[in-house]
């Protein structure tokens, strides 16, 4: 009887966790909707139904001397309650730390919602995700489109494996591939949409080649989100969305190089979106020139900037791809002014 009682206690704990998680998901959706997100009912339903806590059985919280792990299996019920609450907070969660360095995280849910809605998917579309992370984003895509239409790629075998396990626990089995995300996944091409959940210095040509004409590539670049409409296998072009986006860099790609900003006027780095312009251009023209451009162009927002990929060339631009203000991308040209904030 004691063993039966133990099973009953465990079942009761699981039911209470499920009920608390469902309530927390509903509350999270209300927060995102109140902030103007999840206007598409199909995506709203996905966020209500897909259980984020199954994708983050533990995560790390920054403390004075590093990171503290918070998880569902902690013996202290107060810590378990803290874990569940954090799993449904509208914040990014650090999920992989190695040698004191963040290498993977679960993105802020409201940012994920904006990115997924910006994809503009339709029933029947096929999506390639670059950067599996916890698998949560692939779970949302699977709920919306069907798991057979979703492929997610990650360079790290351990991350890919855990994402696959998390997805299965949530009832989804999209294709999870271990491989170099910069190469895409040619075996499943062509895709209608390609979504990156890691920051870039330039756009990998394989993504453009593997996305059908008329399709969309959405990726973080220079603390912004670039939405590229694909014209053919060698040509894509588009503008940045208005939102900021800080992600862990694409592993295997060039690391963002720090910028010496001491020559800039005091406080300018706190004035959005100047840090975005600095990250986009300073690798080619220097912080002072970036500041002069920002002032001369009347402090342009992110939406005035864009990127063109044409054959072996790609460049960022202000207002027009053929205008006077353009900057080549690639070879680590883009630089970082802030650390990663989530994936």
Q: Catalogue the active-site residues.
A: 104
Distance in angstroms (rounded) separating the CA atoms of residues 182 and 225: 17
Distance in angstroms (rounded) separating the CA atoms of residues 257 and 262: 15
**Alpha-carbon separation of residue 149 from 28, 131, 175, 184 (angstroms):** 26, 16, 9, 15
Distance in angstroms (rounded) separating the CA atoms of residues 200 and 255: 9
Distance in angstroms (rounded) separating the CA atoms of residues 325 and 290: 11
Which is nearest to 131 in space by CA: 187, 191, 176, 189?
A: 176
Contacts for 318 with CB less than 8 Å, ≥ 6 apart: 293, 297, 300, 304, 305, 325, 326
Contacts for 157 with CB less than 8 Å, ≥ 6 apart: 178
Cβ(70)–Cβ(61) under 8 Å? Answer: yes
Helix (H) / strand (E) element for 281: namely helix 274-285
Distance in angstroms (rounded) separating the CA atoms of residues 136 and 62: 22
Round the CA-based radius of gyration of the chain to a whole number and report it.
21
Q: What is the DSSP string of 150-176?
A: EEEEES-HHHHHHHHHHHHHTT---EE
Two tokens at 317? 């631009």
Beta carbons within 10 angstroms of residue 116's beta carbon: 25
């Amino acid at each position: 009887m004691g063993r039966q009682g133990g099973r009953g206690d465990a079942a009761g704990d699981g039911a209470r966790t499920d009920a608390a998680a469902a309530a927390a998901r509903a509350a999270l959706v209300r927060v995102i909707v109140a902030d103007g997100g999840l206007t598409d009912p199909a995506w709203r339903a996905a966020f209500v139904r897909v259980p984020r806590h199954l994708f983050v059985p533990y995560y790390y919280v920054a403390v004075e001397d590093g990171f503290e792990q918070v998880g569902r299996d902690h013996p202290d019920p107060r810590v378990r309650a803290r874990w569940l609450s954090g799993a449904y907070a509208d914040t990014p969660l650090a999920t992989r730390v190695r040698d004191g360095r963040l290498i993977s995280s679960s993105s802020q849910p409201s940012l994920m919602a904006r990115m997924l809605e910006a994809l503009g998917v339709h029933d029947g579309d096929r999506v390639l995700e670059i950067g599996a992370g916890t698998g949560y984003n692939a779970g949302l895509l699977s709920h919306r489109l069907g798991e057979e239409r979703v492929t997610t790629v990650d360079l790290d075998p351990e991350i890919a494996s855990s994402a696959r396990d998390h997805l299965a626990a949530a009832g989804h089995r999209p294709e999870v591939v271990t491989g170099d995300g910069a190469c895409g996944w040619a075996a499943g091409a062509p895709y209608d949409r390609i979504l990156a959940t890691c920051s870039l210095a330039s756009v990998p040509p394989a993504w453009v080649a593997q996305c059908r004409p008329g399709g969309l590539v959405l990726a973080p670049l220079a603390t912004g989100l670039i939405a590229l409409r694909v014209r053919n296998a060698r040509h894509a072009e588009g503008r940045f969305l208005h939102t900021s986006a800080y992600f862990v860099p694409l592993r295997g790609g060039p690391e963002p190089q720090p910028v010496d900003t001491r020559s800039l006027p005091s406080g300018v780095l706190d004035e959005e979106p100047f840090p975005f312009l600095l990250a986009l251009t300073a690798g080619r023209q220097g912080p002072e020139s970036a500041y002069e451009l920002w002032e001369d162009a009347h402090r342009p927002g992110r939406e005035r900037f864009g990127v063109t990929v044409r054959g072996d060339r790609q460049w960022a631009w202000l207002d027009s791809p053929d205008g006077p203000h353009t900057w080549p991308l690639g070879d680590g040209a883009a630089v970082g002014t802030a650390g990663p904030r989530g994936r």
